[in-house]
Chain A
């Protein structure tokens, strides 16, 4: 089954404790992206990757890191989480932009709470 998976689905942590949210897709997509969703703000892009070893900042990158060492995986790293990073996080993937069928597929979301 074609899908995007994220782990963990729920995470409660404390300020300053490094964490990683994993994202994996099995559709051989070049493009992967991370979004955060906050009430009243909709979804905003954090980072994206056009292909292996190619990443770039989205609209709200502060406090986050990413890496793309393999095509299928795109982990989101919070080196020193803070309470303002409490949010719902989505990973998404698609074929590279410019192709007609470049619909983004979303993972199930990760609910992060930073105390």
Chain B
């Protein structure tokens, strides 16, 4: 069974600095998707960034980028120029490609605090 591990329950970063959130996963599949979701105090789940496993190039969305290491099964999220609005819970998630079940498997989350 696939698993997703976020080893940092809480992280803190100074405003305008850079922070990296860690995520590792376990799977025997070769094709899959990886996601980072943000959950602010409003509790809504917001997609931050997505990576397809068959792509070697790391995904980037404005200040958010990932370091995808397929062999190491690692998928970290880097937030550059951190802003107060980045404070939230961040969840790493895995989804297999195709098949009869396409559910997301989530890590337990990392709570990010941003200090002014």
- The answer on A and B forming one complex is yes
Q: Interface code A78-115, partner B: CB below 8 Å = 1, 0 otherwise?
A: 00000000001010101011101011111111010000
Q: Is A12 an interface residue (CB 8 A)?
A: no
Across the interface, B45 reaches (CB within 8 A) one of A41, A90, A100, namely A90
Q: Is A31 an interface residue (CB 8 A)?
A: yes
How many positions in chain B have a CB within 8 Å of any CB in the partner chain? 26
CB pair B104 A104 closer than 8 Å: yes
Across the interface, A103 reaches (CB within 8 A) one of B42, B50, B103, B108, namely B50
CB pair A48 B101 closer than 8 Å: yes
Q: Is A66 an interface residue (CB 8 A)?
A: no
Across the interface, B103 reaches (CB within 8 A) one of A45, A88, A111, namely A45
Most buried by A among B33, B100, B104: B104
Q: Which residues of B contact A102 (CB under 8 A)?
A: 33, 95, 102
CB pair B97 A98 closer than 8 Å: yes
Q: Which residue of A lies closest to B105 (CB)?
A: A45
Q: Which residues of A contact B106 (CB under 8 A)?
A: 42-44
CB pair B98 A103 closer than 8 Å: no
CB pair A48 B103 closer than 8 Å: yes
Q: Which residues of A contact B50 (CB under 8 A)?
A: 103
Q: Which residue of B lies closest to A98 (CB)?
A: B98
Q: Which residue of B lies closest to A88 (CB)?
A: B43
CB pair A106 B102 closer than 8 Å: no
Given contacts A50-B100, A109-B43, 14 further A-B contacts (CB under 8 A): A42-B106, A44-B106, A50-B102, A92-B45, A96-B102, A97-B96, A97-B98, A97-B99, A102-B33, A102-B102, A104-B35, A105-B47, A106-B44, A107-B44
